Structure formats: structure tokens, C-alpha cells
Structure 1
Amino acid sequence: MKPLYWKEGALYLLDQTLLPHKVHYLRLTDYRDVVAAIKRLSVRGAPAIGVAAAYALVLAAQEAAKSSLQIFWEKLEEAASALAAARPTAVNLQWAVRRQMKVAARHREEGPEAVVAALEREARAMQEEDVRTNRAIGAYGAALLPFRARVLTHCNAGSLATCGYGTALGVIRAAHAAGKIAMVYADETRPLLQGARLTTWELLQEGIPVTLITDSTAGYLMARGEIDAVIVGADRIAANGDVANKIGTYTLAVLARHHKIPFYVAAPFSTVDLETPKGEAIPIEERGEEEVTHCGGVRIAPEGVKARNFAFDVTPAELITAIITERGVVYPPLGENLRLFAQHQREEEGD
């Protein structure tokens, strides 16, 4: 399943707002259209929108290359700012934009055409890296699950949220390949139903056993002893180990702690934001009321009622059993160990 791909100077995005009823790719040649697609969730998931932004900067550079040298860099900076602000909570988006702008700066003296080519190479590299990263996360995470595991997941952290394979669903895929999955319980994930629309669709296509539940059923299944582990993705991980993820994740973590069920977060290390000290400093996106008052375009709430629509919540580090990354499993104390992982990575890269 490809949520996005690049072909002949255009970015193709699988329009996830139409799933599971219709598979349709948007062909985008203007970075502004990519910004709009990110905002309306045609492409979603922290890793996927990061790579989409990387390709969007290629589109921006292609357009700007027709201008003077000064205007070229002004337009590229303008595009970078617009992309980075498209969804404020997902740190992979800002990470990808910064990475691309560093690449552009390294090729500044070679001229716009060289910058365009370098940005395209880097975007392709990021896409390929993401798949390798997800497979490594899957291998580390699968080892944590018991045989015949009954796993609960929330939102969609699979191929559709990444460039292939998935983070939380990557763990589930790897565990299923090892014969360790008895059942996956997918929360519907209100208000936009990414669990019902996307996660179940992915798992059915993979032949992985899945049962859809309402968000409010999770606690009862735990109380009945029918959940062995909870695995979710992440949009940003603060330096102390607090995790921002789809709204409803915090509730699951509290329930899991009460029922003594392991609660795992699966995410690439690029989701770790050591510049954000703790969860309360993470900007939390609040979206339009109509996503709550309507379902599938049909109004379900009375006219005039107010609604709050937080896209994410923050799960405190003390409720997290471990964070599964491509570099290994990070156990508590999460803040201290995240710093050690980051330091080791810098040493390996010679930074």
C-alpha cells in the first residue's frame, strides 16, 4: 500500500478521506496543494506527512527555479514555512522541512537546478529510509508480544500513516508473520474514524484478524481480560518521554495502567523532539467543530451546539511501558534513556 509516490515531477497522494470506499490518488504539482492536502488529512500520519512535505519542497523548488536567484530562495523559504505550519503537532513535518532546507543550503552555490535535483534525491532517500525504519520497529516490537496476543490499537499507524509497513501496525505485522497475533482490536477513533476506516481496511487486506470496537469499549475488554497489550503510534515525543498522539490515547494509557496491561508507543526516532522538554509544551492542534457535529457529512448534533475538537492528547511518560524505535526499545526512565539513544546516534553519525 503506497500512501504516496513521486513520478515524473509530480507527487501522487492516496486520498485517505475517501477510504475505504474509494482508492483515488491526487496528482499534485504545486506545493500549496500539498499543504492543503495535509491540512484536510488526505495524507496523514507523522512519517507520511513528513515525506510528503519533503517532496512538496521539490515542487516548490521546481516552480521557483523559473525566477531570479534571490526570488528562488525567498519562494523556497516561503514554501518551507507554509509546510512546517500545516499541522503543528507532528514533529516529523518540521523535521523533514529542516532536513530538506539543509540540503538546499549545501547546494546553494551550484544554482537552482542543482538544488532541485538534490531535494528530489533527499526526498526519495527519506521515503526509502522510512520503510527500513518501520521494519526495524516491527522486529523490535514483535519480540515484546506474547504468543496468541490480543492487541489493542488506536487511530491508524500503519502503511497509510507512513511510507509503507507502519509503526504500531508494523509491530503487529511482524508479530503476525511470527504467528503471535490472535486478534487485533481496533478502536474506531472518533471523530474521523481512522481506526474504523483505515486500520481495519489495512489489516483485512493483510489477512490479519481484526475486530472493530467503539472507543468506549476498550476499558470493558481490558476488564474482561481480553487485551494483552496496547500499541499506538506517536506524532511527537517530548524530551521527558511524554507522547502526543491521536486524541483518546491518554485515556487508553490510564486504562492500561489500571488493568496492568503493557502500553507501548511505536515511532521512529525522528518523532523524538529533544527541544520540547515535556508534553505540556507540545502544540496541540484543535480542528473545526464540524468534524464532531457531523459524521460522513451528515449532521448528528443539534444546530447551535458548541464542540471541542482536539486532534491529539498527551500521554505522560509514567504511563508508558516502553517506546519502540528503529534503534531499539527505550525503557523508563524514558527521558534519560531517550537522551542516551540520541547521544549514541550523534556519535555514530560523527556529529
Structure 2
Amino acid sequence: MSAVCALRWQGGALELLDQRLLPAQQLWLRCASAAEVADAIRDMVVRGAPAIGIAAAYGAVLAARAAYAGHGTGWRDVIVADLDLIAAARPTAVNLAWAVQRMAGCLAELAGDPEPALLAAARAIHDQDIAANHAMAAYGAALIEPGSRVLTHCNTGALATGGHGTALGVIRTAHAQGRIREVFVDETRPWLQGARLTAWELQQDGIPARLVVDGAAAWLFARLRPAWLIVGADRIAANGDTANKIGTYTAALAARAHGARVMVVAPLSTFDPATPDGSAIEVEERPAQELTCLAGQAIAPAGFAAWNPVFDVTPADLIDAIVCEHGVIERPDAARIADFLAALGP
């Protein structure tokens, strides 16, 4: 278990480790309202699909508190707007909508002050995510041959989840079992989640790792032969097409071209059976300034245009295994995923 923590409920508020400032500074940002939680999600104070979902659940608690304090028994009439505000903060990560819907589903059963029951529900989501991370880690690690090198993209560790991590959780567990001898970390432009966050987490845990530029994936697979590309997911469509941080698709193509395997690690809440395939996934685009500036300094000509999708979609036929807390789906497609989900029951 990593000692790294991304979020905590403390003193009646949600506290978020501001990931925009890592690794140079460790600053906790206190959110005391649903609007502040929505802003923190939108501004990437907290990021990573599972962590966003957990933050949203605690945001619903804050929404309930404000609604009950301001409107008493009429709190149901005003809380919906706050939940909608949170849900709209970032569109691609399905965990966000899932968490808000789960919290909203609790409302019909509540009478009186809704905060205690919703806080218990939010804590359950948080605890279940940590347990799911450890289950995924065990399933995923078992797929990796001892002594392997692996490549990972973006940040999928304790900073992106309730704790331990999805893809990085697999890497943590596999390293502890002697299955991984070295990790390569994509820098992950433009927010540098790999360089700033994944590298920091691996360093905290003493796991041997080296940083590479995003464009080095093909050459890395050709020369140093990582056995796996191990990544997380923000949404998995019904057919297995997977949305993840921009650059994942490129790395998956490079892995396939050089005989390496691709593992996607994500909790069941990331599966979206209502989305038939990757073409139906809404891909968030962010301001051009994220590409044209770095650390506040212009790196492109003033006024130069940019296209800045935050995610891409890796087709299912490039994915060798999807790992969730309930097991492994190998060679995923619509039929295998449907059978897997049906076996889990309602």
C-alpha cells in the first residue's frame, strides 16, 4: 500500500492534495461546498477517473449540507442543481457521472438531515475503491512474467484513486512480487502527469524507473523491449474501446507493432455498457494555452492555434487484457465484455 494520498474527508470538509503543484509543493486544498469541489475537478486539482468519482461523492455530501441548512425539508428542490454542477465538471470520465448518480440514488430513501447517510455512502465509495485497487493489482500482476520491463502512461496511482492505484497499483504489486525489474514512465504532455506525479509516486516507493518523452514509445519498444504497456482508463465502451489520457493510443500502436502486450486496468465503475463503441465517447478538449505555454512561459508564437484533446480512444483490438476488481477480460470485444458483466449479476 502506498503512503501517498490524494484526498481525505477531514474536519467536515473535503481536502484535496493539489496535484497541479506536485512534486515541488505538497499543498492541501480545502473544499467546503459543492461548487468548490466542481471547480477543483475542472481545474485538475484532483484528477484520475476514480479519484474524481470519490471527490464527486464527497461533493454531494457538501451539497446536501448546504441544501438542508438553507431550505430545511425543502432541500430536495435545490440539491439537484449542485449535483448537476459537479457532474458537468469533466465529461469524459464515466466515474464522475457514476458517483453522482449513485449518490443521487440515495436521496429517495432519506428523511430529515441527509448529510449523515450521504457521508456514509461517500465513505463506502472511497473504501470500495481502495479494495478494488488491491483486487485489480493481484489480477494484473499475475499476467506479468518475472523480470519484465513495462511502460506506463499518465498517472494511475494512489494520486488518481482512493489509494494504491489501478495500472500503477498493478505495477506496485508486480514489483513487490519480483515480476517487474524496471518501469518506463511517459512524461504525458501537456500536464506532465507522468513526469510530475507517476515519477514521484515510484520514487516514494523505491521502484526502479526511468522517464521517457511521449514520442519515444516506438523506439523504446524496439530497443529495450518492455513486455507490457499498462494503463488506466476513463471510460470503457461496451465493445472494449477505451478512452484514456491522450497518447495512450499512440503507445498501444507502438506496443502492438513490436510484439508487446497492452493491459488496461480500471474498476467496474469505468465500464459504460450504454456507450456502444469509442466513436460515441465524448472527448474533452481543453484550452490551447495548455499547449502553447509551459509553467506560465510561452513556448509557441503568440496567438498560435492549437488542438488540445485531453483523451484519445484505443480500439479494443489493440488491447490484450482489461483488468477490473472482478477478474480479467482477455482479448476484449463486445461479446466477451457482455458475458463478463452478465456473470456478475445485477
TM-score range, shorter chain: over 0.9
Identity across matched positions, percent: 52
TM-score calculated relative to the size of structure 2:
0.97
- Residue 100 of structure 1 is aligned with which of 96, 100, 103? 103
Matches within 5 A, 1:1-351: 1-69=4-72, 71-107=74-110, 110-111=111-112, 113=113, 115-346=114-345, 351=346
Rounded Cα–Cα distance in structure 2 between residues aligned with 1:148 and 1:117:
48
**Partner letter of residue 97 of structure 2?**
Q
**Partner letter of residue 176 of structure 1?**
H
Rounded Cα–Cα distance in structure 2 between residues aligned with 1:341 and 1:270:
14
**Partner letter of residue 266 of structure 2?**
A
CA RMSD of aligned residues (A): 1.0
* Change beyond 3 A, Cα 1:338–1:69: farther
Rounded Cα–Cα distance in structure 2 between residues aligned with 1:74 and 1:192:
38
Secondary structure of residue in 1 paired with 2:149: strand
Secondary structure of residue in 1 paired with 2:344: helix
Rounded Cα–Cα distance in structure 2 between residues aligned with 1:254 and 1:309:
20
2:217/2:251 contact within 8 Å kept: yes
Rounded Cα–Cα distance in structure 1 between residues aligned with 2:227 and 2:69:
57
Q: Which runs of 5+ in 2 are unaligned?
A: none
- Matched residue pairs, number? 343
2:320/2:332 contact within 8 Å kept: no
1:104/1:118 contact within 8 Å kept: no
Question: Deviation at 1:333?
Answer: 4.1
Rounded Cα–Cα distance in structure 1 between residues aligned with 2:331 and 2:58:
36
**Partner letter of residue 240 of structure 1?**
N
Q: Which runs of 5+ in 1 are unaligned?
A: none
Question: Deviation at 1:225?
Answer: 4.1
Secondary structure of residue in 2 paired with 1:127: helix
Rounded Cα–Cα distance in structure 1 between residues aligned with 2:196 and 2:256:
28
Rounded Cα–Cα distance in structure 2 between residues aligned with 1:225 and 1:66:
60
Q: Residue by residue, what CA displacement relative to the aligned partner does 1:199-256 show, whole Å, maximum 9, x if unpaired?
A: 0000000000110000111110111143111000000000010000000001111111
TM-score calculated relative to the size of structure 1:
0.96
* Change beyond 3 A, Cα 1:215–1:333: closer
2:225/2:260 contact within 8 Å kept: no
Rounded Cα–Cα distance in structure 2 between residues aligned with 1:31 and 1:304:
35
2:319/2:332 contact within 8 Å kept: no
Q: Residue by residue, what CA displacement relative to the aligned partner does 1:90-136 show, whole Å, maximum 9, x if unpaired?
A: 000000000000112221xx22x1x2111100000111101100001
